[in-house]
Amino acid sequence: MCSRSIVIAINMFAVTSMLVAHEGPHPGGEGGAANDSQVTIRVEGNDRIIEANGLPDHEHGQFPNRRNPNRISPQRYRYRVPANPEVAEKITPFGLQPFGVAVNGVVFDPGAAEFWRRDPRSGWQYEALSGAVDLGMDVNHAHVQPTGAYHYHGIPTKLIEKLGGNEDDMLLLGWAADGFPIYAPNAYVDADDPESGLKPMTSSYQIKRGTRPGGPGGKYDGSFVQDWEYIEELGDLDECNGRFGVTPESPGGTYYYVLTDTFPFIPRAFRGTPDESFERKGPPPGGRGLGGRPPFPPQRRPPPPRPR
């Protein structure tokens, strides 16, 4: 674990001039109905306040769909994160709460509420983007909870396009629950040199070797979160899928997270201290698989794992 301590020095003019308010209709895309996305982001004292209705402001898939029976509907989000976050002494593991919120007010919520044999006590949680369970994702690696909340499980493709792409400079996508910024996949080759060009950041996780010691059994293949392990310095990013460096908004340097096209996609641990406004009260939404439907017919038990 990196022990370096650092405080964000954000260029507030650049951030607030772009993000103070954003609202208006967006194209449905792929059959999606048009909605009004509304989000307000402001700094009050030491806090950044994000209020939004959670509706996407970009093209999205058709919901309901065959594997996701839920319809997108407005939410009432009010999140508070530190405007000047600090690295904590210990990493905080991610639970079944949103990891953060995007600049358009849609939450980053990577954890699936689907478990082996529908039992969270089993300790085997399906990875939402593994393909092991079809959750009806759209092109933005997003789908809809039974509450109507549209949320990202991975890279929000159409949001990045709407913001101008990620080819010319690092692109701020939002903030994590601990206040540190979240960026699109391309970041500076040299973390401390904005003139070094961009490259896609790689995570430091890989699929474990061998077979699972219990639960679903079979060979580790990435179907479950527990199939993955962190290997220090395997890639560009640390165990929180982040690193220290300069960014367009923080030319003096900061810790920041990066979304990747391989696990963990969206980070699964916090380098700072997540704000309690991101905590869920009660059971996680969904919890029955397939966006609200059980992943196996209720009259049947799941089939045993196939030999590999």
Q: How would you classify the pairing of strands 21-25 and 254-258?
A: unpaired
Q: Give the pTM.
A: 0.84
Confidence (pLDDT) at 34: 41
Q: What is the distance between the alpha carbons of residues 245 and 235, in angstroms, rounded to a whole number?
A: 16
* CA neighbor of 130 nearest in space, from 263, 284, 230, 234: 263
- Which of 8, 129, 94, 65 lies closest to 291, judged by CA? 65
Per-residue confidence of the chain (308 residues) as pLDDT tens digits? 443 433 333 333 333 333 434 444 443 444 444 469 999 999 999 999 999 999 999 999 999 999 999 999 999 999 999 999 999 999 999 988 899 999 999 999 999 999 999 999 999 999 999 999 999 999 999 999 999 999 999 999 999 999 999 999 999 999 999 999 999 999 999 999 999 999 999 999 999 999 999 999 999 999 999 999 999 999 999 999 999 999 999 999 999 999 999 999 999 999 999 999 999 865 555 443 333 333 333 333 344 444 33
Structure tokens at 122: 């089993």
Question: From residue 157, how far is each of 75, 92, 140, 293 by CA, in Å?
Answer: 22, 28, 5, 26
Q: Compute φ and ψ for 79, nearest 5 degrees.
A: -110, 145
Query: Is there a contact between 128 and 291 (Cβ–Cβ < 8 Å)?
Result: no
Which residues, 6 or more positions from 298, have their beta carbon under 8 angstroms from its beta carbon?
none
Domain coordinates of the chain in residue numbers? 12-290
